[in-house]
Structure 1
Amino acid sequence: MGDNNILPYPYEFRDISDEEKSLLNKLHTYPDASNSARVGPKGYIVNKAFKKDAANIYSMPLRPSDIFVTSYQRSGTTWTQELVWLLASDLDYEKALAVPLTERYSFLEMFMFVPDAGLESFIKTVSTNSENFNKEKMMGLVNWLGTPVSRALATTPSPRFIKSHLPMSLLPPKLLDTAKMVYIARDPRDVVVSYYHHTRLFMLTGFNGTFKEFWHLFHQSLCKTGGWRDYFDEEMTKQAKQWIEDNLKDTDLRFPLNK
């Protein structure tokens, strides 16, 4: 990717508040849990490592054959990835069984979840919680996961299948005009329950609080990549509100327009 193709990155990264850092440190076992920043028009939470490839992602050359599967985390992304890949691959079940989904899709921002600092501490945490631990293999895996994929995508053959949990404003601005995208929106009540269990099991997050405490993080948009509500632009909000009015008219449910 030449420098001439890099669009000016339109957003500034800013630190989260000391109060937010203290809360994240309290509720996470991983020592860099507070290594977070806000970016974008709605102040989405990202790991600071995102900064090293944010402009490349934003300026990534797109192809008409690209297929993006995007969502807020824990919204059914994996199921949808598999369905989309099969539909685009003439129902090639043999290849789907033989090649892991992680190799058929590029996870655009996976690198930001892998720590730049405190890696040894993280490896030590994993080793004490895992049987048959192999440090060399773990280091190789972590280094692979921590490598940004935006540049590698330049040599990936078409069609490229790309997964992302980033909000639209952090993705290439011509995405909807150029490529194909499937966006998944899930009931936030289901999202928060699934997300809670995920963060407790996933060692790169190391959440050790209660569900009530996690709900507070979720409600205050302190989960990674921000708040569920923040992913909805004006048009999507209108559609969600209309769906509630059409299908849940006998309830007092309303789409949460404001915090």
Structure 2
Amino acid sequence: MNLNPPSYTFLEADKTEEMLHLFKGERTGWVQVGEKKWFFPYRYTEQGSAFYHFKARPSDTWVLSYPRSGTTWTMELVWLLKNNLDFNTAGKKTLAERFPFLEFSMFNHPEVTRTLLEWNKGDVSKQQLCKEIARPGYEVLDAFSSPRFIKSHFPFSLLPNILDSGCKIVYVARNPKDVAVSWYIQNKAFVTQGYIGDFPTFWNYFKNDLTAWSPYWEHLKEAWAQKDHPNVLFMFYEEMQADLLSSIKKISNFLGKVYSDEELSKLLDYLDIKNFKNNPMVNSEELQECGVLLMNGVFVRKGKSGNWKSTFTEDLEKEAEEWISENLKDTDLVFPTE
């Protein structure tokens, strides 16, 4: 393990000025980290080293992904499988409490946090939530007793301790066209990103590795390279949608758990998107109440593949297909058909 985190450079001034006009949640700028130029808001300069040195424990269970890849659905599934289908606790504690997001603090610009505190003046519990989500996950999780459940969108190369720690890691991937559309909607919905532009402009940023946690392809390829690691399970969101029962059994086996057909049937019903998207414990209602999330129904959305078709123009689709083909030509990574 390299003890020194990769160096970073600030995004060029002209591009920074352009993007600050469109991403209102960031007020300072962005950095590009390491040789692959991982893209993060400026708070990475303050917190990145501590995230890089964060120590995973053997008893941890992680869910990793590029954003908007079916992460929330997978997290709830993993948590329930590991916790003997404890629907009672899952109905009382938010998923964010049970499965903390390691690096969300990087997206809480101090000026935005001050605004949120002002909006919630007079409501102590909402103000506390605004302060809590701005706390670095390495501080929060260090204080957690084991076993811990951890969500992260960091690529493997920025979590160098994780593979040798003995912990279990489920990585979920999704086709880039659906990712881009869902990521666009979420960037518009969260004040921490505050995107006010249109989709073609966002697509251009995404394709050119200028949205957070990009580059998308390097993210997936780093995970794909670890697919045969005994403590890594690589899943496609599309395969989970196509045959959830088989996916549940696959993940359950990976986690060393066994359940009866009756128990699995109950879990299938619980995870059905019609029920899941209305579950206040997983759809970030608490963030909506304190003003971080501006639009209802965007965190857990339709849960379907192919929704990109209603957003992409014919020209954008052609461009996307060429971009996908170019990036898949030197790999055996193949997305399941929609």
Shorter-chain TM-score: what band? 0.7 to 0.9
Structure 1 residue ranges (4+ consecutive) displaced by more than 6 angstroms after TM superposition: none
Residue aligning to 1:16: 11
SS of alignment partner, residue 218 of structure 2? helix
For residues 21-100 of structure 1, what are the structure 2 equivalents within 5 Å? 21-30=16-25, 32=27, 34-100=28-94
SS of alignment partner, residue 98 of structure 1? coil
Shift of 1:55: 2.3
RMSD over equivalenced CA pairs, Å: 2.9
Unaligned runs of 5+ in 2: 228-235, 237-320, 330-338
2:224 paired residue among 232, 236, 259: 236
SS of alignment partner, residue 107 of structure 1? coil
Shift of 1:31: 5.8
Partners of 1:149 and 1:31 in 2: CA distance: 19
Residue aligning to 2:129: 141
In the alignment, structure 1 residue 112 sits paired with structure 2 residue 114: no
Residue aligning to 2:179: 191
Q: Deviations over 1:171-190 (max 9, x none)?
A: 13343552110001001010
Residue aligning to 2:152: 164
Shift of 1:118: 5.7
Distance 1:8 1:234, change over 3 A: closer
Partners of 1:191 and 1:19 in 2: CA distance: 27
Shift of 1:147: 1.0
Unaligned runs of 5+ in 1: 1-5, 128-132, 244-250
Partners of 2:183 and 2:97 in 1: CA distance: 23
Partners of 1:173 and 1:11 in 2: CA distance: 14
Residue aligning to 1:152: 140
Residue aligning to 1:256: 327
TM-score of the superposed pair, with normalisation by structure 1:
0.80
In the alignment, structure 1 residue 101 sits paired with structure 2 residue 89: no
SS of alignment partner, residue 69 of structure 1? strand
In the alignment, structure 1 residue 180 sits paired with structure 2 residue 181: no
Distance 1:152 1:186, change over 3 A: same
Shift of 1:140: 2.8
Matching residue's letter, 2:17:
S
For the 8 Å contact 1:49–1:116, the answer to whether it is kept is no
For the 8 Å contact 1:105–1:163, the answer to whether it is kept is yes
Distance 1:238 1:109, change over 3 A: closer
Aligned residues between the structures: 235
In the alignment, structure 1 residue 212 sits paired with structure 2 residue 200: yes
Shift of 1:237: 7.0
Shift of 1:47: 1.5
Partners of 2:83 and 2:108 in 1: CA distance: 31
Higher relative contact order (CA 8 A, sep 6+): 1
Q: Which moved more, 1:175-184 or 1:76-85?
A: 175-184
